[in-house]
């Protein structure tokens, strides 16, 4: 019964305890008060020796990062030992899977959980207070586990109460913080507003869509906008320059990553202008790290940008100036490394800028032997601040990339920039000027030596009349005792007065020097007479360079002896002129006397040639005709000699057939060879091009002279003529001509003299064989005129071999046919014309009348000039053919009377056998219109008459219409542009430009050429041909170049004018082909 009552009492006690504990929970929201209320009740009711509550600091101080747990309250307090344990303490490890644990003294973990004083026996019961901490109970005796379990529910409620107190404390804490934060925010807002609105920089805030939400007054002031103009508008799209928007989009990605970004942009102001802004963007993020927008500080950098542009332009100008400098400009740092290397440095040393910059200068331009001294100079500068070569122009040896050394002129300056030292070097390659200087010094020394050795007195003065150099001869002339070297630098202003006593006319001497120095014009051969009778020739030569006066040269040459011989020279000259006149008269008379019968023989042979005859008669007539021509050539030798002496010989180049020339020559000479019973043969290399461009007349004359001599001096054996191909090209060919015989030969000592005028080997030869001694000299000079050389190989009494080589341009058979066709005569052109023939030789009359009547011309005759005058008085003639040399009255006198007394303008053509120098001019001066040389070919006579009667145009028109209808081969390439391409450095654009210009200008020149030809303006025709000729040569139109050359020459030679029509015809035929080929060339490009 007693036991039952006790149990009942215990139950009442437990219920009472639980009720009291329940009442104790939550009496206060203060954490410590709440805990103390609870643990005091629990300690008193359970007779506990010690009770304590531990809470994690993270809940106490609202900081999840705190790692410890703190003691909040313990009863009795004197048992408190530790006030803090780590959150990984043994207690937490034991409570991990339980709501409470009981640890007795016997447990191994008792000591680990014992954090109190004097609690070495009994047991601990520890309750988990959720996640916020634990409740620790201690009894000196062991606890009842049933009691522990009963407390569990109360402890859970206690835990809830503690959490409520903690939540309350956190709320109060957060409220206080919020209150404090709001105060701080208000302060910051006011501060930020004051700062932002007071800043010189613009501030713009944008949201995450780039829309403007705020802009400070400074931004509004700089841009001219009102705030309402900006709010809600996209900053980038509406206010940034479009060219900059792409770069800004890249910068925005940094903001999204939480990074600050900076960039420069052109911003549109309200007035439409732009200003440069430096933008610093700071991102704004929300609590959840979402991007909200950015705060952007905008700094006006317009002025800086303008300065940068100016600086960039200045740097570019400086770089351009440095790079365009004629000197190499090199900058190196203190380490000797190149920091700048201009274009001229590349040019001079061969290293590119990329190779040079960053390299050591000594490895680029300094020869190996000078590198050590270069190092020493830099060290010395760093130590002393001075350098022996600084700010001086010095000459040193440089080295190129290829290792070549050369002289340079060097100027080095030290530069300081930002506490760093640099060296600027200006380098000039003086290879050329140094060589020029050395050459000048050499030249001066040579000049000095030359002047000293001259037999003339020489004085060279500068622009201030200071002596530069003189010689001993000058000192001797003016009786100067001092040495020439000691006079250098002496002032010559008063020297003329000092020397005047030596002169015959001192006043004139002084005044002439004054005038010469004033005018500064060269004057030579001025005579100066001295009192001792000597006469000097003075030359004054002022020295100019680029129009700048540098001084003058005086030269005094002793001509005393020269004057003495001048009279003798005048007498000798007069005698020579008399002899020359006598020779000319002799040649004129001789040629006339010989040509007159020859003209008749040749004319009759031409008439016989037109009659019916047998083969043998034809052969004899041909022999007569050829013999007359050959005899005429002997006369021509004398005349040619006169022409060669006076320099009047010219080449008349035309297409010809070499075979025809040789065949005609063989027919002429074959009879002579047969008479002497010697073998005469010729051989032409079959590979020789048949048609060549040559002066066939002079070529025939050379062959005739050499072969006639060979036959003449050969009494037995043979004479052979060979034409051998020496060199053959596409456009030109070189032929060697050899005349060999088995005649008398020539002694070696006489082989040079036979080429002298009027010379044969010896007098015996002249007496035995005859001849003028002019054949070989004329042949030699004609060959030299054709750029050849006549050579001889001969052995006395065995024979001789004459040989020479000539280069010819190739011609075509079609060219030859065209040339021959031009001599065809339209017999109706001169029909019904009436001509007076004035000729004293009856045979010549017959020949001329037969030619003229064949062309249906009415012919009247007169035997001398006097008869001719009477005929002209009583008749009207279309033209007069007037012999120059006749009895009673010659042709010149008759012509003068017809022109001056009868006032007749009838055209007069002179007939003369004398065509040496001066005769033609005499005929034209007397009033004649033209002349023709006897004997004459019918074609030439026809042309002369037609030309004088101004029927030339009709002739050329007829020729062009009557030419064979064979089309000129336009496939033949007339152009050779190799020379033009080479001159244009193979630049095809320039070649094309030249061709286009030729086709534009040249047709007008060709038209001008034809106008001059039709109006017989020969001098203008020559000038026009001269203008066209260089272009023809430049474009390689070789088929026409010689024609333009002949046109230029022949238009100025009275005896060659008859050749002009055929040349003009060829030019007019081929030039259209040239123009067409040029057009094709231009189209292909």
pLDDT at 356 over 50: yes
Q: Is the bond preceding 935 in cis, omega lying within 30 degrees of 0?
A: yes
Average pLDDT over residues 889-910: 93
What string of DSSP letters covers 1036-1061? T-HHHHHHHHHHHHHTT-GGGGGGHH
Stretch among 80-84, 690-694, 944-948 having the lowest mean pLDDT: 80-84
The count of C-alpha atoms lying within 13 angstroms of the C-alpha of 111, restricted to the half-sphere facing its C-beta, is 2
Q: Walk me through the domains of the chain, giving residue ranges and CATH numbers.
A: 1-174 (3.30.450.40), 199-308 (3.30.450.20), 325-434 (3.30.450.20), 435-561 (3.30.450.20), 650-810 (3.30.565.10), 834-949 (3.40.50.2300), 977-1083 (1.20.120)
More confident residue, 450 or 614: 450
Contact status, residue 980 vs residue 1034, Cβ threshold 8 Å: yes
Which has more confidence, 1061 or 987?
1061
Question: Once rounded to an integer, what is the mean pLDDT over residues 476-482?
Answer: 85
pLDDT at 873 over 90: yes
In this prediction, residues 676-699 reach a mean pLDDT of 87
Asked if 376 and 400 touch (Cβ cutoff 8 Å), the reply is no
Per the model's pLDDT, the better-predicted residue between 426 and 877 turns out to be 877
Most confident of 138-147, 307-316, 537-546, 815-824: 537-546
Which tokens in the block code for residue 556? 């005094």
| Model confidence pLDDT, tens digit, residues 232-254 | 888 888 888 877 766 676 666 77
- CB 607, CB 854: distance < 8 Å: no
Residue 51 has a pLDDT of 92
> Are the beta carbons of 829 and 962 closer than 8 angstroms?
no
CA distance 737 to 683: 10
Q: Is the pLDDT of residue 329 over 70?
A: yes
More confident site: 878 or 305: 878
3-state helix, strand, coil in the chain (%, to 5): 50, 20, 25
> What is the C-alpha separation between 331 and 414, in angstroms, rounded?
10
Residue 110 near residue 142 (C-beta atoms within 8 A): no
CA distance 537 to 529: 9
Residues 6+ apart with CB under 8 A from 899: 926, 927
Vertex 430 angle, CA 427 and 434, to 5°: 150
pLDDT computed for residue 876 by the predictor: 93
As a whole number, mean pLDDT of residues 739-753 equals 83
Q: What is the pLDDT of residue 724?
A: 94
> Which residue would you say has higher pLDDT here, 749 or 283?
283
Cβ atoms of 643 and 917 within 8 Å: the answer is yes
Question: What pLDDT was estimated at residue 641?
Answer: 61
Residue 969 has pLDDT above 60, yes or no: no
Residue 251: count other Cβ atoms within 10 Å of its Cβ: 15
**Is the Cβ–Cβ distance between 996 and 1082 less than 8 Å?**
yes
**pLDDT bucket at 312, cuts 50 / 70 / 90:** confident
pLDDT greater than 90 at residue 741: yes
Average pLDDT over residues 311-317: 75
Q: Hey, how many other C-beta atoms are within 10 angstroms of the C-beta on 355?
A: 15
For the chain, the residue count is: 1085
Given a cut of 80, is residue 316 above it in pLDDT? Answer: no
Residue 798 has pLDDT above 50, yes or no: yes
DSSP annotation string for 210-229: SBEEEE-HHHHHHH---HHH
Q: Residue 771 above 60 pLDDT?
A: no
8 A C-beta contact, residue 958 and residue 830: no
Instruction: State the pLDDT at residue 643.
Output: 60
Confidence check: pLDDT of 617 > 70 = no
pLDDT band at 728 (very low <50, low <70, confident <90, very high): very high
* Per-residue confidence (pLDDT) for residue 24, from 0 to 100: 55
Please provide the average confidence, as pLDDT, over all residues in the chain.
80
Query: Would you call 558 helix, strand, or coil by DSSP?
Result: strand
d(CA 601, CA 620): 13
In this predicted structure, what is the pLDDT of residue 38?
Answer: 87
Residue 918 in this model has a pLDDT that exceeds 70: no
pLDDT confidence of residue 954: 44
Percent of the chain clearing pLDDT 90 (strictly above)? 12
Token pair recorded at residue 29:
């929201």
Tell me the mean pLDDT in the region 186-205: 73
Largest CA distance in the chain: 213
Name the token pair of 717.
């054996």
Q: What is the pLDDT of residue 875?
A: 94
- Bridge partners (DSSP) of residue 883 are 911
**Mean pLDDT value across residues 63-72:** 89
Residue 20, SS3 per DSSP: helix
Q: What is the pTM of this model?
A: 0.32
Evaluate if residue 649 carries a pLDDT over 80.
no
For residue 745, give every residue at least 6 positions away whose Cβ sits within 8 Å of its Cβ, in sequence order, or none: 794, 795, 796, 797, 798, 799, 800
Average pLDDT over residues 18-46: 74
Residue 896: pLDDT band (50, 70, 90) is very high
Mean pLDDT of 1054-1076: 86
pLDDT value at residue 387 = 63
pLDDT at residue 1025 greater than cutoff 70: yes
Higher pLDDT, 622 or 747: 747
Where residue 555 falls among pLDDT bands split at 50, 70, 90? confident
Output the pLDDT for position 120.
Answer: 80
Residue 340 has pLDDT above 70, yes or no: yes
More confident: 558 or 199: 558
Identify which of 516, 508, 509, 468 has the alpha carbon closest to the alpha carbon of residue 492. Answer: 468
Rg (CA), the chain: 64
Give the β-pairing of 420-429 and 405-417.
Answer: antiparallel
390, β-bridge pairs:
412
Distance between first and last Cα of the chain: 142
Contact (CB, 8 A) for 954 and 829: yes
- The average pLDDT across 604-629 equals 62
């Amino acid at each position: 019964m007693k036991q039952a009552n006790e149990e009942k009492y215990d139950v009442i006690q437990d219920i009472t305890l639980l009720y009291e504990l329940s009442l104790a929970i939550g009496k206060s929201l203060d954490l410590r008060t709440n805990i103390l209320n609870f643990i005091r009740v629990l300690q008193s009711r359970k007779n506990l020796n010690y009770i304590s509550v531990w809470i994690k600091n993270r809940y106490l101080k609202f900081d999840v990062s705190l790692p410890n747990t703190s003691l909040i309250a313990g009863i009795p307090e004197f048992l408190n030992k530790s006030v803090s344990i780590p959150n990984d303490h043994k207690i937490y490890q034991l409570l991990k899977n339980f709501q409470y644990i009981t640890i007795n003294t016997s447990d191994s973990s008792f000591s680990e959980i014992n954090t109190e004083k004097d609690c070495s026996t009994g047991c601990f019961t520890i309750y988990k207070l959720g996640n916020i901490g634990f409740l620790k109970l201690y009894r000196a005796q062991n606890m009842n586990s049933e009691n522990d379990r009963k407390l569990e529910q109360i402890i859970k409620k206690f835990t809830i109460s503690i959490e409520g107190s903690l939540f309350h404390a956190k709320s109060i804490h957060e409220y206080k913080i919020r209150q404090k934060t709001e105060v701080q925010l208000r302060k910051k807002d006011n501060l930020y507003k004051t700062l932002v609105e007071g800043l010189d920089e613009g501030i713009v805030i944008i949201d995450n869509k780039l829309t403007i939400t705020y802009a400070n007054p400074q931004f509004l002031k700089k841009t001219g906008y009102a705030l309402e103009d900006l709010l809600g508008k996209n900053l980038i799209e509406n206010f940034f320059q479009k060219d900059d928007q792409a770069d800004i989009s890249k910068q925005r990605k940094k903001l999204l990553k939480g990074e600050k970004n900076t960039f420069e942009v052109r911003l549109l102001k309200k007035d439409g202008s732009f200003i440069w802004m430096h933008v610093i963007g700071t991102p704004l993020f929300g609590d959840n790290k979402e991007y909200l927008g950015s705060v952007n500080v905008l700094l006006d950098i317009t002025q800086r940008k303008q300065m940068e542009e100016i600086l960039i332009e200045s740097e570019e100008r400086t770089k351009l100036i440095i790079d365009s400098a004629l000197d190499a400009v090199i900058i190196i740092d203190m380490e000797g490394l190149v920091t700048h290397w201009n274009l001229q440095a590349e040019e001079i040393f061969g290293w590119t800028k990329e190779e040079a910059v960053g390299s050591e200068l000594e490895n680029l331009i300094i020869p190996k032997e000078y590198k050590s001294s270069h190092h020493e100079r830099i060290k010395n500068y760093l130590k002393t601040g001075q350098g022996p070569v600084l700010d001086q122009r010095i000459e040193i040896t440089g080295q190129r990339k290829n290792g070549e050394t050369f002289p340079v002129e060097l100027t080095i300056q030290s530069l300081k920039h930002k506490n760093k030292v640099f060296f600027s070097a200006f380098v000039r390659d003086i290879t050329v000027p140094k060589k020029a200087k050395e050459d000048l010094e050499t030249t001066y020394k040579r000049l000095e030596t030359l002047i000293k050795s001259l037999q003339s007195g020489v004085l060279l003065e500068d622009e201030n009349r200071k002596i530069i150099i003189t010689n001993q001869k000058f000192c001797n002339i003016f009786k100067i005792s001092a040495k020439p070297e000691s006079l250098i630098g002496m002032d010559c202003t008063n020297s003329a007065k000092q020397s005047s006593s030596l002169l015959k006319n001192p006043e004139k001497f002084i005044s002439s020097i004054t005038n010469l120095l004033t005018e500064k014009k060269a004057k030579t051969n001025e005579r100066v007479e001295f009192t001792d009778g000597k006469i000097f020739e003075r030359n004054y030569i002022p020295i100019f360079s680029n129009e700048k006066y540098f001084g003058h040269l005086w030269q005094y040459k002793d001509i005393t002896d020269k004057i003495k011989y001048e009279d003798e020279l005048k007498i000798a000259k007069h005698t020579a002129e008399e002899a020359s006149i006598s020779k000319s008269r002799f040649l004129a008379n001789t040629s006339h006397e010989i040509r007159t019968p020859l003209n008749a023989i040749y004319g009759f042979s031409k008439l016989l040639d037109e009659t019916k005859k047998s083969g043998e008669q034809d052969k004899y007539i041909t022999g007569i005709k050829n013999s007359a021509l050959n005899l005429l050539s002997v006369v021509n030798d004398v005349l040619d000699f006169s022409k060669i002496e006076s320099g009047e010989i010219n080449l008349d180049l035309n297409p010809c057939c070499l075979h025809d020339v040789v065949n005609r020559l063989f027919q002429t000479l074959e009879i002579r060879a047969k008479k002497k019973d010697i073998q005469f043969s010729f051989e032409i290399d079959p590979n020789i091009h048949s048609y060549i461009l040559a002066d066939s007349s002079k070529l025939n004359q050379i062959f005739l002279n050499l072969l006639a001599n060979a036959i003449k001096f050969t009494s037995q054996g043979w004479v052979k003529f060979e034409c051998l191909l020496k060199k053959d090209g596409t456009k030109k060919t070189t032929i060697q001509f050899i005349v060999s015989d088995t005649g008398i030969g020539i002694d070696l000592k006489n082989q040079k003299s036979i080429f002298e005028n009027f010379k044969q080997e010896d007098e015996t030869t002249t007496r035995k064989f005859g001849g003028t001694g002019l054949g070989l000299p004329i042949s030699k000079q004609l060959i030299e005129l054709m750029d050849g050389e006549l050579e001889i190989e001969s052995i006395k009494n065995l024979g001789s071999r004459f040989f020479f080589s000539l280069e010819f341009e190739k011609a075509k058979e079609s060219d030859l046919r065209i040339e021959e066709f031009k001599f065809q005569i339209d017999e109706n052109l001169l029909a019904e014309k009436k001509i007076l023939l004035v000729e004293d030789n009856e045979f010549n009359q017959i020949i001329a009348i037969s030619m003229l009547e064949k062309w249906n011309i009415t012919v009247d005759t007169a035997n001398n000039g006097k008869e001719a005058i009477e005929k002209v008085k009583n008749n009207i003639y279309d033209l007069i053919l007037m012999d120059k040399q006749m009895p009673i009255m010659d042709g010149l006198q008759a012509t003068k009377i017809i022109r001056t007394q009868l006032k007749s303008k009838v055209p007069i053509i002179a007939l003369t056998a004398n065509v040496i120098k001066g005769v033609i001019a005499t005929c034209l001066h007397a009033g004649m219109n033209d002349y023709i040389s006897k004997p004459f070919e019918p074609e030439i006579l026809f042309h002369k008459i037609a030309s004088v009667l101004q029927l030339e145009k009709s002739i050329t028109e007829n020729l062009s219409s009557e030419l064979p209808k064979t089309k000129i081969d336009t496939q033949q390439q007339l152009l050779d542009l190799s020379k033009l391409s080479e001159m244009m450095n193979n630049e095809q654009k320039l070649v094309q430009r030249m061709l286009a210009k030729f086709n534009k200008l040249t047709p007008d020149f060709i038209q001008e050429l034809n106008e001059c030809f039709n109006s017989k303006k020969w001098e203008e025709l020559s000038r026009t041909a001269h203008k066209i000729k260089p272009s023809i040569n430049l474009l390689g139109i070789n088929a026409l170049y010689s024609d333009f050359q002949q046109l230029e020459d022949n238009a100025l030679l009275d005896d060659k004018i008859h050749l002009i029509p055929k040349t003009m015809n060829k030019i007019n035929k081929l030039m259209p082909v040239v123009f067409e080929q040029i057009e094709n060339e231009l189209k292909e490009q």
